[in-house]
Amino acid sequence: MQFPDDDNGKMLAAMSEAGIDLSKQLDIDFFLVFDDQRDAESATEELSNSDLEGEMELHLNDEVGKWELIVCIKMIPEYQAIVDQELNLNQFAEEFGGATDGWGVMQHQEGDDDYADDDHECSDTCKH
């Protein structure tokens, strides 16, 4: 597969090389960062009341000292769809003094062959 020579294209190329099936829906995490807690909370509330279909998690990222809103959207990881989603979320975040800070996927996604032979059974203490 050919991808544009930018950060999004490089990420998709790396995912493809790692054996991730880019033709299937994945849970893609988009990161929005805010300096102010109230701005981050207001953005989270506004986004949760919108028609955006996805899960959200807000926490303080101690490493960078900013509030981070993770928006998880199930979608097919197509280049233009990711670019469009990132632009939309950046415009939204700017209204609350924030900005997008990239995107990513968790290593283990439903249907990953790498974990098919995992005989681990989850319990209440699992962290995944």
pLDDT tens for each residue of 49-84: 999 888 999 999 999 899 999 999 999 999 999 999
The answer to whether position 41 is within a domain reads yes
Residues 6+ apart with CB under 8 A from 65: none
Q: What pLDDT shows up at residue 13?
A: 95
| Residue 52 belongs to domain spanning | 24-105
The answer to whether position 98 is within a domain reads yes
Q: The whole model's pTM is what?
A: 0.81
The answer to whether position 118 is within a domain reads no
| Amino acid identity at 69 | L
DSSP conformation class of 35: S
